[in-house]
Amino acid sequence: MEVPLEVISWLRRKYPKPKVDPEWLSQCFEYVVTELNPSSMDETNRHVQTQLLASDLRDSMLPGTGAPSNIAELDNAFLAGPVLVQILAITDIGHSAFSLQTTRQTRIDKADLAGLAEAEGDSEEEDANSIPKYPRGMLRFELSDGSQTFPAIEYRRIKDLELGVTPLGYKVILSFNLALSS
């Protein structure tokens, strides 16, 4: 199905790098039009955006159109935004592995207890079964533009990203110039 130029232009303005794969976009547009039946072009754009942000960038983007080639192998690189990337891995490097593992085990135990209490119909206090948050230090990421994977570390705390809450595959727009070094 032919994708209207209006949709293509909107996507290019909103997500200039990497470039959306035309074949993926055609299939996505066909799905949106036939299954979701949008009533306006704005609604169509929102549905296409939702599908794009839910997709794996390896499937929806053209290789080599995002970050500079071989960015993971460079000692120093300069990444000019905006570039859409997805989080493949997230780790807190500001706390010890032991501390993170202890929190992880506590979270698993509390989740199991909460599930058991729910199954038995117990109405214990919410605080008693609340699942603890991971301690927050500095986050390290593995990011991908769909064709390359590269490491990143937050320079300042990004409040919307949290270990144990932010799902893998979460999309982030790097909308600034960024110096990368290994």
Task: Name the residue range of residue 124's domain.
Answer: 97-129
Same structural domain, 172 and 90: yes
Query: How many Cα atoms are found within 13 Å in the side-chain-facing hemisphere of 104?
Result: 11
Same structural domain, 153 and 170: yes
Phi, psi of 120 (to 5 degrees): -85, -5
What is the C-alpha to C-alpha distance for residues 166 and 91, in angstroms, rounded to an integer?
A: 11
Same structural domain, 16 and 49: yes
Same structural domain, 142 and 117: no
What is the C-alpha to C-alpha distance for residues 133 and 47, in angstroms, rounded to an integer?
A: 33
Phi, psi of 27 (to 5 degrees): -65, -40
Same structural domain, 75 and 51: no
What is the C-alpha to C-alpha distance for residues 19 and 5, in angstroms, rounded to an integer?
A: 15
The DSSP string of 121-144 is: T----TGGGPPPPPP---EEEEEE
Single out the residue of 142, 145, 143, 135 nearest to residue 84, CA to CA.
145
Split into its structural domains, the chain has a count of: 3
What is the C-alpha to C-alpha distance for residues 135 and 53, in angstroms, rounded to an integer?
A: 28
Same structural domain, 76 and 46: no
On the question of a cis peptide bond just before residue 82, with omega within 30 degrees of 0, the verdict is yes
Q: Is residue 61 part of a domain?
A: no
Same structural domain, 18 and 52: yes
Q: pLDDT tens per residue, the chain (182 residues)? A: 799 999 999 999 999 999 999 999 999 999 999 999 999 999 999 999 999 999 999 999 999 888 877 665 655 556 666 889 999 999 988 777 777 778 788 878 887 776 666 666 555 555 555 777 776 778 889 999 999 888 888 888 888 888 888 899 999 988 755 555 54
Q: Is residue 158 part of a domain?
A: yes
